[in-house]
Amino acid sequence: MCLGIPGQILEISDAVQKLAIVDIGGVRRPVNIACIVGEDEPVESCVGDWVLVHVGFAMNRIDPQEAQLTLELLEEMAAVHEEMAAT
């Protein structure tokens, strides 16, 4: 129920209703993007962004830099343990 699926915004289909076409695992679906576009922001600014889609709504952008930082930390941890195991 509370899970979401990552998807990438391909195009805006209805700027007034804030609807976009999002690629979710290779399937194009209409998604409401009201939660991720501020009032002063042009709706088109989010095309290309990765978002988390939940029950037909994009709930937040996925921050690629934060994802990278997390992965690097985990990488580091794995490397330290491999080294320790080798010695």
Partner 1 sequence: MKYVQEFRDPQKAQGLLQEITALGEQLTQSRPGPIKIMEVCGGHTHSIFKYGLESLLPKTVELVHGPGCPVCIMPKGRLDDAIALARHPEVILTTFGDVMRVPGSKQSLLQAKAEGADIRMVYSPLDALAIAQKNPDREVVFFAIGFETTAPSTALTVLQAESQGIQNFSLFCNHVLVVPALEALLSNPDLQLDGFIGPGHVSMVIGARPYQVIAERYRKPVTVSGFEPLDILQSLWMVLRQLAEGRCEVENQYTRLVQENGNTVALAAMAKVFTVREQFEWRGLGDIPASGFKMHPNYAHFDAEAKFTLPHRQVADHKACACGEILQGVKKPWECKVFGTGCTPEHPIGACMVSSEGACAAYYKYGRPQTVAEPVASRGK
Positions in the binding site for partner 1 (CB under 8 A): 1-4, 6, 8, 17, 25, 32, 34-36, 38, 50, 52, 54-57, 59-60, 62-64, 66-67, 69-71, 74-75, 77-82
Q: How far is the CB of 68 from partner 1 (least distance, A)?
A: 9
Give whichever of 44 and 77 is closer to partner 1, judged by the CB atom: 77
Find all residues with CB under 8 Å of 52, minimum gap 6, and list them.
4, 5, 6, 7, 58, 59, 60, 62
CA-based torsion, 55, 56, 61, 67: positive or negative: positive
